[in-house]
Structure 1
Amino acid sequence: MHTAPVSEAEPRSVRVSVHTPDVISRVGLVRYLEAHPEVEVVPAGSSASVDVVVLAPPRLTPQVLTAMRKRAALSPAPVVLLANQLSDGHLLAVVECRVVAVLPRSAASDDRLLRGVLGAAARAETMPSDLLGELITHLERLRGEGLMAKGSEAAGLNPREVDVLRLMSKGMDTAEIARELCYSERTVKNVIYGCTSRLNLRNRPHAVAYAMRAGAI
């Protein structure tokens, strides 16, 4: 009696969710991924588990990073990040958010995105110990493509704000900063208020910490 050979089970599709506030970008990403049979796109609002998360924020603002950290705390899925610009100051932040690949937004419709998603899924169970080194390599490639921003530019700070925050980081008060920069104290206060309100920073120490983390000072 001959037994029929047991056929190998087909590999399961990689379940991916796409997150971006831009509707046009989301539609384009979903259509691209759905065109590949090895990928199954899960609606972003679904409660189903996913293997990989694709994030494409317009900018890596403090609010976006906070949302990424919250998502990382709720799900162990690795993240592929599409970004227009990154600063060196974002490196540790994205590591905390389970980002395993950083790609330029121009990769949203080519094989780099597919390779990034499949690669992220393959390493989901055993995150490499040299992940930080891999991300640095990603950032170096982005710098070569002209997508890496200087710290102050990526942080959204103008030169006057950088000057004020740099002196504040040295422990100077408003009067001392005004004398050093030849500003009035009112101007210094306005500069501080402008950057904290625009970037949703809580207070002066938070503003200094934000600028330092972004590599602006």
Structure 2
Amino acid sequence: MAGVQVAVRSADPLTLAGLSGQLAAQPRIEVAGRHTAATAVLVVGADRFTPDLVAQLREAAAEFGTPVVLVADGVTEAELLTAVECRVVAVLPRAAATGGRLAHAVLAAADGGGVLGPDLVGGLLKHLDRIQRDLLAPRGLTASGLTAREIHVLRLMADGLDTAEIAVELSYSERMIKNVIHGLTRRLNLRNRSHAVAYALRAGVI
């Protein structure tokens, strides 16, 4: 069984050699010589979260879209948000980057998951709460990008009701229901009603 192909990057030769050596010793991981389209996970080592590191992460994200395991110290809540934009899905402090923990983070990233410390998870959740409270809620939106009215309509659509039946159920006019459906499909670039219901299902709101 082929292992997960990993590329390792670091501006520091010692860090690069250390991370590469630890990963190469793991049975389910193959360390590639360079980052290519076949790379499943990119591991990046750095002392701190610097502008140069952000530029490197953005370049890798734009070129390959590979999930990133970041090994760095002192990543703050604000820096984590920037890192997430660059496809970072796991963050390990340098002292915690043992072979076993690196392997766990890499395998989780390859499987679509992530690894964050409790402090970073807590900070991220607080930030999401502020976004919901200060930006989305005043506009009647939820984290899914849907309003409460749109969610009600989508739930009834998922139950098989047509426009007229939804209008009766919610005590709206048929024109209002059509406008709601048109508005959400246009705003979220959804192709049709089935696509809208699928979007809501994936978002976990129905």
TM-score scaled to structure 2, two decimals?
Answer: 0.54
Report SS of the residue matched to 1:37.
coil
The question of whether the paired residues in 2 share the 8 Å contact of 1:42 and 1:48 is answered with no
Find the partner of 2:14 among 20, 24, 28.
24
- Unpaired runs of 5+ in structure 2? 124-206
State the one-letter code of the partner of 1:13.
G
Q: Structure 1 residues 138 and 40, CA, compared in 2 at 3 Å: closer, same or farther?
A: farther
Give the structure 1 partner of residue 5 of structure 2. Answer: 15
Shift of 1:140: 5.1
Give the structure 2 partner of residue 6 of structure 1. Answer: none
Report SS of the residue matched to 2:43.
strand
2:139 counterpart of 1:139? no
Cα RMSD (Å): 2.4
Find the partner of 2:106 among 95, 117, 138.
117
Q: Structure 1 residues 35 and 136, CA, compared in 2 at 3 Å: closer, same or farther?
A: closer
The question of whether the paired residues in 2 share the 8 Å contact of 1:17 and 1:42 is answered with yes
Shift of 1:59: 1.8
In the TM superposition, what whole-angstrom CA distance separates every residue of 1:119-165 from its partner, at most 9, and x where no partner exists?
10111xxx6xxx7xx757462589xxxxxxxxxxxxxxxxxxxxxxx
Q: Structure 1 residues 72 and 138, CA, compared in 2 at 3 Å: closer, same or farther?
A: farther
Q: Structure 1 residues 111 and 92, CA, compared in 2 at 3 Å: closer, same or farther?
A: same
Give the structure 2 partner of residue 61 of structure 1. Answer: 50
Q: Structure 1 residues 89 and 121, CA, compared in 2 at 3 Å: closer, same or farther?
A: same
Q: Structure 1 residues 114 and 141, CA, compared in 2 at 3 Å: closer, same or farther?
A: farther
In the TM superposition, what whole-angstrom CA distance separates every residue of 1:68-118 from its partner, at most 9, and x where no partner exists?
111101112110011111111112101111011111111222411110001
Give the structure 2 partner of residue 74 of structure 1. Answer: 63
Q: Which runs of 4+ in 1 moved over 4 A?
A: none
- Unpaired runs of 5+ in structure 1? 1-9, 143-217
